[in-house]
Amino acid sequence: MMFMTPQTALMIGIVAPLVTALLTPFLGVRANWRDVAGPIGAVITFVAALHVAGDVMQGGSPEWVLATLAPGIDLSFRVTELGAVFGLVASGLWILAGIYSVGYMRGNHEKHQTRFAAFYAVAVHAAMAVAWSGNLLVLFVFYEVLTFSTFPLVTHKDSKAARDAGRLYMSILVGTSVVLLLPAVIYVWVMTGRLDFVSGGILKDAVSSEVVPWLLAAFAFGIGKAALMPFHRWLPAAMVAPTPVSALLHAVAVVKAGVFTMLTVVVYVFGIDFLSASGGGTWLVWLTSFTILASSFVAITKDDLKARLAYSTISQLSYVVLGAALATSIAAQGAALHIVMHAAGKITLFFCAGAIYVACHLTKISDLDGQGPQMKWVFGAFFIGALSIIGIPPTGGSWSKFYLMVGAADAGMVFVLAVLSLSSLLNIYYLLDPVARAFFKPKTRQVEVEWHPLTVWPPVITAGISIGLFFYAGPFLDLASAMVTR
């Protein structure tokens, strides 16, 4: 890739998913070509993201200015350390999710596969643009585009349940972003006269510390995609979508765009030192702790596998927001790492849930009793993914949990350690429960198992990635520490 400058790579990473989306309808009549286009677009995007991340690690920050949105505010892309991390996660997992979704949609004989593939790629485009946005306004722009482009995916089944879920999805995500996030962004713009991302933040001398908790609240609740309670209900509702959507978008791209935005705001707009000095983040530490535990308790009560995973996601997202709210450099690094680690783990779990559904149309955990031996690979992958979410070595999830705990101790918030430990115990209970039932309980239902191979290999690979991230977390650790020290 010697011929590619970081800036070209940036352009390719933004444009490739969009081109994939635009080509899809034209390839609609040739299903094989259409279904190859997605993964090819994903590989191109991922290579570009690798290149961009490499440049950022060496201290670069590639930039691409497209147009002027407002005096002094360009429609531009510029990659921060955190943006490089999120870009890698979104594009890398898109490769596997793209392959998986072909298997899922075909194995399940879903309708409107072309429309599905096109909006899927648009959503990834929006996620990449969020990751690499050059300022807060551009970030907001693509945050909204992400909401609207995922709506047709959530309502894909066109049933009454899907439509109701679509309404809830739109009203919470659009409502919070318009009523809280947008004015927060504009307030920062009015107070500082700028919106670009600067290490150490831009608010330090512009607003007094009494304003900080309120402004932080406008961001924390305005970023509905971070699914902080009480604005979390859209996420379980979105599970009505086909599983590839839940896997890539509602475990990786969309929700991670939410927590990514939150972390970006804290690190590059507030500045960790300013937030910590003002003490404006303390209330958020309590609220995220509450969300972590409360959604775990709800998850235990869910018998539907995808619903349980959704509540687990809500809990895990609050880990990232917690890392931001603690406002120490170690905690922020832990939050950045958790974006990566949770993505790999949770996408594995969703891949498995979808694979089980395609194979034998089981959705309830109570029906999984004794099915393990028939589906060894899938439940094996589920086990590894669950370990990573819980945070047990040798999986990637143990790194982020470790950093978060050190960060909490650093901030002098010892009760957070208790919250994180209790949460791990709850995770063990409700995530390992399906695996234990599948292997150790007697079979209650005889089902016909009919695999689509493209649904089995992606979870196995992502499970492998979860283990790999334990041994090769180096580049992400470097980017995370560059985020807070540069």
Q: Which residues bind another protein (CB under 8 A)?
A: 66-71, 75, 137, 140-142, 144-145, 148, 152, 155, 158, 163, 166-167, 170-171, 174-175, 178-179, 182-183, 186-187, 189-190
Least Å distance, CB 86 to another protein, is: 19
Give 194 or 441: the residue with its C-beta nearer to another protein: 194
Give 156 or 342: the residue with its C-beta nearer to another protein: 156
CA distance 484 to 199: 7
Least Å distance, CB 420 to another protein, is: 35
Least Å distance, CB 145 to another protein, is: 6
Least Å distance, CB 409 to another protein, is: 38
Give 1 or 70: the residue with its C-beta nearer to another protein: 70
Give 1 or 190: the residue with its C-beta nearer to another protein: 190
Least Å distance, CB 318 to another protein, is: 24
Give 137 or 349: the residue with its C-beta nearer to another protein: 137
Strand partners of residue 64: 77
Residue type, 137: L
Is residue 299 within 8 Å of residue 312, measured between CB atoms?
A: yes
Least Å distance, CB 287 to another protein, is: 22
Taking alpha carbons only, the member of 144, 130, 48 closest to residue 88 is: 48
Give 81 or 196: the residue with its C-beta nearer to another protein: 196
Which residues fall within 8 angstroms of residue 322, CB to CB, at 6 or more apart?
284, 285, 288, 289, 292, 331, 335, 404, 416
The three-point CA angle 220-222-225 to 5° equals 85
Phi, psi of 279 (to 5 degrees): 70, 15
Give 68 or 301: the residue with its C-beta nearer to another protein: 68
Give 94 or 151: the residue with its C-beta nearer to another protein: 151
CA distance 478 to 471: 14
Gyration radius from the chain CA atoms: 21
Give 141 or 447: the residue with its C-beta nearer to another protein: 141
Strand partners of residue 304: 364
- Per-residue CA distances from 30 to 24, 161, 435 (Å): 10, 31, 39
Which uninterrupted H or E stretch holds 69? Answer: strand 63-70
CA distance 418 to 443: 37
CA distance 371 to 442: 9
Is residue 319 within 8 Å of residue 335, measured between CB atoms?
A: yes
Is residue 245 within 8 Å of residue 117, measured between CB atoms?
A: no
My answer on whether omega of the bond before 213 falls inside 30° of 0, hence cis, is no
Least Å distance, CB 215 to another protein, is: 12
Least Å distance, CB 193 to another protein, is: 11
Least Å distance, CB 179 to another protein, is: 5
Least Å distance, CB 158 to another protein, is: 7
Give 187 or 377: the residue with its C-beta nearer to another protein: 187
Taking alpha carbons only, the member of 77, 20, 21, 88 closest to residue 49 is: 88
Using the 8-state DSSP alphabet, how is residue 196 labeled?
B
Give 151 or 274: the residue with its C-beta nearer to another protein: 151
Least Å distance, CB 251 to another protein, is: 25
Which residues fall within 8 angstroms of residue 325, CB to CB, at 6 or more apart?
216, 220, 266, 281, 282, 284, 285, 288
Q: Which two tokens stand for residue 465?
A: 């990635």
